[in-house]
Amino acid sequence: MPEYCKRCGSFMKVKETRGDVVIYECPVCHWTKEVTNSKVSQERSAIVLDKPVSMMVVIDEAKIKRRGTIVKVQCPKCGNLGAYVEIVQTRAADEPPTRIYKCTKCGYTWREYS
């Protein structure tokens, strides 16, 4: 069972164990507490997210051009049939990647979600 500091409310960590006695120490104010119990166990905590964390994808246009991968796809802005392409994993790993295109003629950038 987790122990909390009576002074500052922080989660206490196990400092040492002597037989059935466990000594907890607060990492913030260093207050200690002795607990006598034969079934004391140290628990781990985890953060569970209810919904995905939003993220921003920054497009490095120089990186797209450096890679030099040009595909035959029509630009929605000027109609040119050539664009640099970069494939980026913008969503969860079990979902398909996003293709980011940059027109070789006008420089317009657009995305295609597979």
Q: State whether 69 and 42 are in the same domain.
A: no
Residue 53 lies in a domain: no
- Tell me, yes or no, whether 55 lies in a domain: no
List the catalytic residue out of 16, 20, 60, 95.
95
Digit-coded pLDDT (tens) for 21-76? 888 888 888 888 888 864 445 555 555 556 666 666 566 666 655 656 888 999 99
For the question of residue 25 being annotated catalytic, the response is no
What's the pLDDT at 93?
Answer: 74
20 part of the active site: no
Q: What does the pLDDT read at residue 20?
A: 82
Sign of CA dihedral 18, 23, 27, 30: negative
pLDDT tens profile 3-12: 888 888 888 8
| Judgement on whether residues 42 and 68 belong to the same structural domain of the protein | no
* Residues above pLDDT 70, as percent of the chain: 71
Domain region containing 75 = 61-113
